[in-house]
């Protein structure tokens, strides 16, 4: 996940709402460490990820999805943004 975090991101703030307090414990310098219970929740979410990703794509042909993603990436580049893999 570290490869997807940008310097301007604030994962602690972004994660504060959906994360239960018992899933994280404070660490030095304002960071947090995941607890055993938090790791269990992460793994459960990871197990559900394929279904969560598939739901919005239901009824969309693969080639249409790929075209849409390519178009959106170009849109971001045209707007001056960057795309990370």
pLDDT of 20 over the 90 cut: no
Q: Using the predicted structure, report yes or no on whether residue 6 has a pLDDT greater than 80.
A: no
Instruction: Flag the least confident range among 5-9, 40-44, 69-73, 77-81.
Output: 5-9
pLDDT at 63: 96
Rounded alpha-carbon distances, angstroms, from residue 3 to 7, 40, 56 = 11, 22, 25
pLDDT: which is higher, 23 or 3: 23
pLDDT of residue 32: 86
Instruction: Report the predicted TM-score, pTM, of the whole model to 2 decimal places.
Output: 0.45
CA distance 79 to 85: 18
Cα–Cα distance, 23 to 37 (Å, whole number): 6
């Amino acid at each position: 996940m570290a490869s997807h975090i940008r310097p301007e991101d604030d994962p602690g703030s972004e994660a504060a709402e959906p994360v239960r307090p018992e899933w994280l414990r404070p660490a030095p310098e304002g960071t947090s460490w995941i607890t055993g219970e938090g790791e269990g929740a992460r793994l459960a979410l990871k197990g559900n990820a394929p279904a969560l990703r598939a739901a919005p794509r239901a009824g969309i042909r693969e080639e249409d999805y790929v075209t849409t993603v390519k178009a959106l990436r170009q849109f971001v580049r045209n707007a001056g943004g960057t795309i990370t893999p």
